Structure 1
């Protein structure tokens, strides 16, 4: 599945849509991590494994962008960048996720035209 998403992301027409969706899913993941961090919910192991693939695809598509990428009108990017404030607090318990989130955040900021 990951390879299909990467191939789909090669298309100029679908890349922006796919990235908006991936960033939206990552925002939901950050919310789940935060709830787990606060002890309100558990973060299932299968969700952890699936989130790694999500990070890899998003990072790949953002790194492989041959055109300036802008998530026009997408509140997902703004929400994601606001979530980065929480990353430092999450880094103690979810270190690998925090590192991935910071990398994706830096790629999103760098993709601004």
Structure 2
């Protein structure tokens, strides 16, 4: 009898450098880090609108990503109005890149598998 795969185990034939990131399996968190990957800093409202999220949903997901070290949060003011800016951290960028590589590897394997007859 074989052992069941452990969470995070890429499985047989997987690219050893590519890892599925369980935190990025959530489509909302993935869309947030993908948006942040294209910017140095992004204003909270821009990310909220681009990802089509409510303030509370974005705030919750950003807290999760920040606690895990994927996102940096900076608070300040523009005039008298409070603002929050978000940035994908270097470790967050590394994890996103590895996650995308793992997904690409899975897609490539699926495309090259012979179809069942």
Tell me the TM-score normalised to structure 2 length.
0.30
Structure with greater proportional strand content: 2
Structure with greater proportional helix content: 1
Tell me the TM-score normalised to structure 1 length.
0.31
